[in-house]
Each structure stands twice: as C-alpha cells, then as structure tokens.
Amino acid sequence: MSEIKREVLENSNNINGSSNSIQEKVVIGSEVFVPMLKEEVLQERIRDLGKQISNDYRNKVPVFIGVLNGAFLFLADLIKNVNIDCEIDFFKLSSYGDEKISSGKVKMLKELNCDVNGRDIIIVEDIVDSGLSIKFIEDLIAPHNPASMRVVSLLVKPNSLRYNVKIDYIGFDIPSKFVIGYGLDYAQKYRNLRSIYVLSE
C-alpha cells in the first residue's frame, strides 16, 4: 500500500484563493499532488452555479441525477445552493478502474429509480474528460422522453473531449492532468479531501 503524507504549507499563495489559508501537499508513494482549486474557490463557484440553475429552472421541478461515485460531494453542495423544489437520483458508473487513465469502457453499476418521462433532467458530473460517460448516460436517458436534459460538471478537461457532448454548466475548465479530491479518487481514495489537487510534474 502506498504511503500517504500530507504536508501543511502555511502562507503559500501559489493558487487561487486567499493567501493566508492552510494548504496541503498530498504525497502518494512517489507522486506529489499540489492544490489546484481550494475549498473556498470551489464553494464560491458552486454558489454561483446553484443560483444560475435556480433562475433557469424557476417554476420547474428538475431532477438532479448524480453520477456516482465522484459527483456525490458536488451534488450535495450544489443542491444546498438551489432554492427551487428539486428531486435527486443517482447513476453509478465505473470507467477508470484503479488507473489514472480511462479504460475507455463504461459499466453501469446502478440504474436510475426515477421515471424521467416528461421531467427536466440535470445530469451532475464531477469531471468530464473524454465525454464518454456523459454520452453513455445521455444515450440511456434520451429514449425515455425527458422534457429536457442538461449537464452540469464541476470540472471539464476541454482538451481531452473526444465525444460530441454539450456541458451546459461548467464549474471550471482545467488542463488535461489527473486530479484528486472533493469526490475525485485515485484508486478509490482521496475523495474526502476538501480541495482539488493536481498531479505535479
């Protein structure tokens, strides 16, 4: 098992956000992850997304469909910032295995429980990389006649997109580098980090 070390660096200001907050460096074996998006930067953007979605769906009752496991924290924080009635459900997909590179295959591990017919669907993703997972989900939902279907993703790697998908609400565009934290895993771990960290070169 890889050894994990979390270093606390105080008063460093090499990333977005306030300069005086505590930051960690996450060392996993020989790999070092450094902060990319701090907790407060994430939360501020999520507040804006919540407001925007609430405005766009006024007088509607959208169904937020979170893509497990990665999107669970984002979905939770997002709907806390949505001030209209809404429902939630989850899909569970698996594509990465324990690797840093997508297997290129998507497996469905949990189906939806709600009836999407006539509903306004908002698919909630943690990160869109190639776009394969979103394409897979859209192709599953579309035949069931939703009233509308949009996608919100906290992160998008625009240079990695290989499928023709439209991401309607984007938290942050990021470079095509491997990131962990705030729901995003590396071999199922590190989802509990409050900020997002990127693999440093």
Q: In this structure, are residues 125 and 134 in contact, taking their beta carbons and an 8 Å threshold?
A: yes
- Calpha distance 55→83 (Å, rounded): 9
Sheet arrangement for strand 148-156: 107-110, 87-94, 63-68, 120-128, 148-156, 169-173
Residue 106 CB, shortest distance to ligand IMP, in Å, is: 7
Q: Which of 115, 120, 129, 139 is catalytic?
A: 129
Residue 38 CB, shortest distance to Mg ion, in Å, is: 21
Is 129 a residue of the active site? yes
Which residue, 96 or 169, has its beta carbon nearer to ligand IMP? 96
**Which helix (H) or strand (E) covers residue 31, if one does?**
strand 31-37
Per-residue interface string for the shown chain with Mg ion, residues 67-96, x marking contact by CB under 5 A: x--x--------------------------
Residue in 130, 140, 168, 189 binding ligand IMP, rule: CB under 6 A: 130
Residue 193 CB, shortest distance to ligand IMP, in Å, is: 12
Per-residue interface string for the shown chain with ligand IMP, residues 106-125, x marking contact by CB under 6 A: -------------------x
Is residue 26 at the binding interface for ligand IMP, with CB under 6 A as the rule? Answer: no
Per-residue interface string for the shown chain with ligand IMP, residues 60-89, x marking contact by CB under 6 A: -------x--x-------------------
91 residue type, one letter = F
The sign of the torsion formed by the CA atoms of 66, 84, 45, 141 equals: positive
3-state secondary structure 54-112: HHHCCCCCCEEEEEECCCHHHHHHHHHCCCCCCEEEEEEEECCCCCCCCCCCCEEEECC
> Rule CB under 6 A: which residues touch ligand IMP?
67, 70, 95-96, 102, 125-133, 178-180, 184-185
Residues marked active site are found at 129
